Amino acid sequence: NLIKAMMGSKMQMKDSLWNKLNLSWAGFFLFMGSLNLYVAFNFNTDMWVNFKLFGGMGLLLVFALGQAFLLAKHITPQEEE
Protein backbone atom coordinates (compact mmCIF):
# COMPACT_ATOMS: atom_id res chain seq x y z
CA ASN A 1 0.00 0.00 0.00
CA LEU A 2 1.69 3.19 -1.20
CA ILE A 3 0.00 5.50 1.30
CA LYS A 4 0.95 3.22 4.20
CA ALA A 5 4.56 3.18 2.99
CA MET A 6 4.65 6.99 3.00
CA MET A 7 2.71 7.68 6.20
CA GLY A 8 2.97 4.46 8.20
CA SER A 9 5.55 5.79 10.65
CA LYS A 10 3.30 8.72 11.61
CA MET A 11 0.00 6.87 11.94
CA GLN A 12 -1.08 3.63 13.55
CA MET A 13 -4.07 2.10 11.75
CA LYS A 14 -5.38 -1.34 10.89
CA ASP A 15 -4.61 -2.68 7.44
CA SER A 16 -8.31 -2.48 6.55
CA LEU A 17 -8.25 1.29 7.19
CA TRP A 18 -5.10 1.69 5.09
CA ASN A 19 -6.83 -0.18 2.27
CA LYS A 20 -9.94 2.00 2.55
CA LEU A 21 -7.76 5.12 2.45
CA ASN A 22 -5.89 3.82 -0.58
CA LEU A 23 -9.12 2.91 -2.39
CA SER A 24 -10.71 6.25 -1.58
CA TRP A 25 -7.81 8.12 -3.19
CA ALA A 26 -7.85 5.79 -6.20
CA GLY A 27 -11.60 6.31 -6.53
CA PHE A 28 -11.23 10.07 -6.23
CA PHE A 29 -8.62 10.19 -8.99
CA LEU A 30 -10.75 7.94 -11.19
CA PHE A 31 -13.72 10.26 -10.61
CA MET A 32 -11.61 13.36 -11.36
CA GLY A 33 -10.24 11.81 -14.54
CA SER A 34 -13.71 10.90 -15.74
CA LEU A 35 -15.06 14.34 -14.87
CA ASN A 36 -12.14 15.95 -16.69
CA LEU A 37 -12.87 13.95 -19.84
CA TYR A 38 -16.56 14.80 -19.62
CA VAL A 39 -15.85 18.53 -19.35
CA ALA A 40 -13.17 18.41 -22.05
CA PHE A 41 -15.43 16.73 -24.61
CA ASN A 42 -18.72 18.45 -23.81
CA PHE A 43 -17.74 22.07 -23.15
CA ASN A 44 -15.60 24.66 -24.88
CA THR A 45 -11.91 25.10 -24.14
CA ASP A 46 -12.41 28.13 -21.89
CA MET A 47 -14.81 26.21 -19.67
CA TRP A 48 -12.42 23.25 -19.52
CA VAL A 49 -9.50 25.50 -18.52
CA ASN A 50 -11.60 27.11 -15.79
CA PHE A 51 -12.62 23.68 -14.56
CA LYS A 52 -8.99 22.52 -14.48
CA LEU A 53 -7.84 25.63 -12.63
CA PHE A 54 -10.64 26.15 -10.16
CA GLY A 55 -13.00 23.17 -10.11
CA GLY A 56 -10.35 20.47 -9.97
CA MET A 57 -8.33 22.28 -7.32
CA GLY A 58 -11.44 22.96 -5.28
CA LEU A 59 -12.58 19.35 -5.36
CA LEU A 60 -9.08 18.14 -4.45
CA LEU A 61 -8.93 20.58 -1.54
CA VAL A 62 -12.33 19.49 -0.21
CA PHE A 63 -11.44 15.81 -0.55
CA ALA A 64 -8.01 16.22 1.07
CA LEU A 65 -9.44 18.22 3.99
CA GLY A 66 -12.10 15.57 4.49
CA GLN A 67 -9.44 12.88 4.57
CA ALA A 68 -7.35 14.94 7.00
CA PHE A 69 -10.24 15.26 9.45
CA LEU A 70 -10.94 11.54 9.27
CA LEU A 71 -7.27 10.63 9.76
CA ALA A 72 -6.44 13.18 12.48
CA LYS A 73 -7.36 10.78 15.29
CA HIS A 74 -4.84 8.22 14.04
CA ILE A 75 -1.76 10.49 14.04
CA THR A 76 0.72 9.59 16.75
CA PRO A 77 2.06 12.66 18.61
CA GLN A 78 5.78 13.30 18.43
CA GLU A 79 7.64 13.17 21.71
CA GLU A 80 9.84 16.09 22.74
CA GLU A 81 13.55 15.40 23.14
Any domain includes 4 = no
Flag whether 81 is in a domain: no
Confidence of residue 65 (pLDDT cuts 50, 70, 90): very high
What letter would DSSP give residue 5? H
Tell whether 66 is covered by a domain. yes
Using a cut of 0.85, tell me whether the model's pTM lies above it: no
According to the model, what pLDDT value does residue 62 have? 96
What does the alpha-carbon distance between residue 48 and residue 65 come to, in Å, rounded to a whole number? 24
Give pLDDT, residue 15.
Answer: 78
Domains held by the chain: number: 1
- CA dist 70 and 31 (Å) reads 20
pLDDT in tens, 51-64: 999 999 999 999 99
Query: Residue 5 falls within a domain, yes or no?
Result: no
Confidence at residue 57, expressed as pLDDT on a 0 to 100 scale: 94
Domain span including residue 60: 20-74
**45 lies in some domain:** yes
> Which pLDDT does position 13 carry in this prediction?
75
